[in-house]
Amino acid sequence: MSQPNQTSKLAVMQNAKPQFPEFEKFAESIKSQERAKFAYEMKHGLRNNRAKDEKPKETAQKLLKKARALILKHENKQAETVLRQAISLEPKDASMHALLGEVLMKDSARLMDALSCLMQAVKLEPTFGGHYALIGTLLMRLQKFEEAIDYFEIAVKFDPKNYIALSRMMHIKAHRARWDGFEKIPTYLKQFNNTRVLSDPFAFLSLCDDGEFQKQRSLSQVRAKLTNPVKAPIYTGGRPAGKKLRIGYFSNDYYNHATMHLMGGLLENHDRERFELYLYDYGSKMRDHEHNRARQSADVFHDIRHMTTAQIVDLATRDGLDIAVDLKGFTEGGRLDMFNSRVAPVQVAYLGYPGTSGLKSMDYMVADRITIPSHLRKHYTENILYMPNCYQPNDESRYIAQMYDSRESHDLPEESFVFSTFNNPYKVTPREFDIWMNLLKEVPDSVLWYYVSNADIIDRLRKEAEARGVDGARIIPTGRMQPEYHLARLKHADLFLDTFNVNAHTTASDALWAGLPLVTKTGEQFAARVAGSILTAAGLEDLVTTTEKKYHDVALRIAQDPDYLADIRMRLAASHGNSPLFDTQGYTRDFERLMERAFQNYLDGNAPRSMGISAA
pLDDT given for residue 193 in this prediction: 84
List every span in the chain annotated with CATH 3.40.50.2000. Answer: 408-582
Query: What is the side-by-side order of every strand in the sheet holding 300-303?
Result: 300-303, 275-281, 245-251, 323-326, 346-349, 364-367, 383-386, 611-612
pLDDT given for residue 40 in this prediction: 55
CATH number of 57-203: 1.25.40.10
Instruction: State the fold for domain 245-396+587-612.
Output: Rossmann fold (3.40.50)
Strand, coil or helix: 245: strand
Using an 8 Å Cβ cutoff, are 416 and 440 in contact? no
Using an 8 Å Cβ cutoff, are 478 and 451 in contact? yes
* Phi, psi at 64, each rounded to 5°: -60, -45
Which residue from 589, 594, 585 is spatially nearest to 616, judged by alpha carbons? Answer: 589
List every span in the chain annotated with CATH 3.40.50.11380. Answer: 245-396+587-612
pLDDT tens digits along 101-114: 999 999 989 999 99
Which residue from 48, 117, 45, 120 is spatially nearest to 80, judged by alpha carbons? Answer: 117
pLDDT given for residue 21 in this prediction: 53
Using left for φ > 0, alpha for ψ between -120 and 50, and beta otherwise, residue 53 falls in left
pLDDT tens digits along 230-260: 999 999 998 999 999 999 999 999 999 999 9
Q: What architecture is domain 408-582?
A: 3-Layer(aba) Sandwich (3.40)
Using an 8 Å Cβ cutoff, are 23 and 43 in contact? no
Minimum mean pLDDT range among 32-36, 61-65, 127-131, 206-210: 32-36
Write the burial class of residue 197 (CB in 10 Å: 0-12 exposed, 13-18 middle, 19+ buried).
middle
pLDDT tens digits along 195-243: 788 889 999 999 999 999 999 999 999 999 999 999 999 999 989 999 9
Name 480's Cβ contacts closer than 8 Å, sequence gap at least 6.
Answer: 453, 486
CA distance 129 to 228: 31
Name 261's Cβ contacts closer than 8 Å, sequence gap at least 6.
Answer: 290, 395, 398, 483, 506, 510
Looking at the chain, the whole-number percentage of residues with pLDDT higher than 90 is 85
CA distance 144 to 358: 31
List every span in the chain annotated with CATH 1.25.40.10. Answer: 57-203
pLDDT given for residue 1 in this prediction: 42
Q: pTM for the complete prediction?
A: 0.88
CA distance 540 to 563: 16
CA distance 532 to 518: 10
Mean pLDDT of the chain: 92
CA distance 36 to 29: 10
CA distance 579 to 536: 10
